[in-house]
Structure 1
Amino acid sequence: MTVTIGYLLKQSRPRFWLYLAGPVLVGVTFGADRPTALVGVVPLVLFAYFLVPANVYLYGVNDVFDREVDRRNPKKERREVRYRGQRATPLAVIASLVAGVALLPLVPRPAAPWIGGFLLLGAAYSVPPVRLKVRPPLDSLSNGLYVLPGGAAYAAVAGGQPPIAAIAGGWLWAMAMHTFSAVPDVGPDRKSGIRTTATVLGARGALVYCATTWGLAALAFATLDWRGGVLLAVYPALALWVLTGNVDVGRAYWYFPAINTAVGAILTMAGLWGLTHGG
């Protein structure tokens, strides 16, 4: 049992847990109208779900339907684990899906579509015949799903929907982050006959795409607050640095969880400052 739990946790990519749970913190912080709203039952439940079960669901579905492809992916031998048909994975995926569906009637009505959208896109990304991950540019576009936990959290505490500019900025950021993460896999994916935005554009073209899309994300956030735009401008700068500085993108990619955590923490602290100091 201990071995199985350890395997499932590693399969859920702990390094990336905050990619789903972090937006919950940001969404709650900016959606709350008073400090006590930050520690309500619904925000805590959303954070707990998107911290672990949602990652078990998202990456478990991915690994089940990528089993054949991942046999050729060296990343599965080092940073991640390789799914070899273990029954625990589909069982954990189903349990996580059921837990997500169970949230729908429990959260305020404005939050439910965001959770439902996450569950649908999380499956559509990997499951045939839709399998958006091999349909560029839909592979990139569909990864706006990482914004959906933040939308759910904001809507749950605010009772209404987040600003369009915030949704657009977050969605663009996630699109670029997805394509950037696919650049190290261009070689294995091409050998396997997998088409992604990164394989279509090539490594350099994908980095240009990431820099451009991250730049648009920064502009979207700047329409809400210029300081947010400045903060998000770190991403196009990093993409250009990798592109022009002869930096190994495979190595740079593994620094992004720390970078994203730092940026998310700054956004969260800014929201807390505004909540407690009125702006």
Structure 2
Amino acid sequence: MSTPPGSLTLLLKVSRWRFWLYLAGTYLIGFTIGVRDLNLSLSGWFWLHFAYFTLPANLLLYGVNDLFDTDTDVANPKKTVREHLLASAERPFLVRAVSIAFLLTAALAAFQKTSEDRWMLALFVALSVFYSAPPVRFKARPFLDSLSNVLYAVPGFLGFQHASGQAVPWQAVAVACLWTSAMHLFSAIPDIGADRKAGLNTTATVMGHRASLVLCAVLWLVFAAIVMSLVAFRPYGAVLLVYPAIALALLFKADTMTGRVYWFFPLVNALVGMGAFFVVAFSK
């Protein structure tokens, strides 16, 4: 059932409100890691960007996705059960809404204090748009689709730069790529059937269900091992092993179980992210 064009409900559905934490929470953690004085987190500058990475940034990311994914969405049952299948009557309003989100992003970029911060915000926009939009359309390019999902870590990089005034170390970028690539691949596994039916080639469709789970487990395991070797609070680092454990456990379950577990990941990520926030905050 379509949502009345022009409604706030449509914006919330398209922006995947249950996933807002993936961008806003990442900005919070990056800022917390980089900040010297936690009182700075109460500044208007922090809250402005935190708010941006809720509705506006997610509307830009997922709005573009819905506008260019009609061919695959119609074959994907989750669009009608868990998400929202965009109706033709809703497209004009969504185009306007995404355009406004883009203009808000451009305005925010203009007020960035350094060129590095502007480039980081530009990187977020480029990856968000060209993940779905042609001619690049990363989501239809196996392995690049997962790698390009480092876009979910970019808010954290920006938060770190805002708080510390320093560029993000390349090692942090590489480690983040491990987690985001695995998370993207995991999220694509339930879509294998719909994507193959639509003729969309992804990492998951190329590798298949089981091999994709194995690769997820490997990427998450390497990520957890690196973080455990770096953080002072080793017990927290060990918590990250929950990710490869989930992927490996699903190897012994029915294929449909992966899709069910996927919808619990916002809760898992929220709890792990909350733990990261408190570990970093109390170490300041």
Q: TM-score, normalization: structure 2?
A: 0.92
Which residues in structure 2 correspond to 1:13-52 (within 5 Å)? 13-52=16-55
Secondary structure, counterpart of 1:72 in structure 2: coil
Retained in 2: the 8 A contact 1:107–1:156?
Answer: no
Deviation at 1:246? 4.0
Paired with 1:142 and 1:102, the residues of 2 have a C-alpha distance of: 24
In structure 2, the gaps of 5 or more residues are none
1:108 aligns with 2:110: no
Report % sequence identity.
42
SS of 2:76's equivalent in the other structure is coil
SS in 1 for 2:87: coil
Give the AA of the match of 2:111. Answer: L
SS at match of 2:153: helix
What is the letter of the counterpart of residue 185 of structure 1?
D
- Is 1:202 aligned with 2:208? yes
2:273 matches 1:267: no
Pair 1:159-2:162 in alignment:
no
Aligned counterparts, 1:164-175, within 5 A: 164-175=170-181
SS at match of 2:83: coil
Structure 1 position 237, deviation (Å): 1.0
Counterpart of 1:259 in 2: which secondary structure?
helix
Aligned partner (choices 244, 251, 268) of residue 252 of structure 2 = 244
Q: What amino acid does structure 2 have at the position aligned with 1:107?
A: Q
Deviation at 1:84, TM superposition (A): 1.9
In structure 1, distance between residues paired with 2:25 and 2:242:
18
SS in structure 1 of the partner of residue 208 of structure 2: helix
Q: May I ask how many residue pairs the two structures share in their alignment?
A: 275
Aligned-pair RMSD on alpha carbons?
A: 1.6
Say which SS state the counterpart of residue 6 (structure 1) adopts. Answer: helix
Structure 1 residue ranges, 4+ long, deviating more than 4 angstroms after superposition: none
Deviation readout 1:127-174 (Å, 9 max, x if unpaired):
011100000110000000000000001101110023333322222111
Q: TM-score when scaled to structure 1?
A: 0.94
Give the match for residue 192 of structure 1.
198
Structure 1 residue 97 corresponds to structure 2 residue 98: no
Distance 1:106 1:232 in 2: 36
Deviations 1:81-139 (A, max 9, x none): 11123211111111111111111132231322221100001111000111000001100
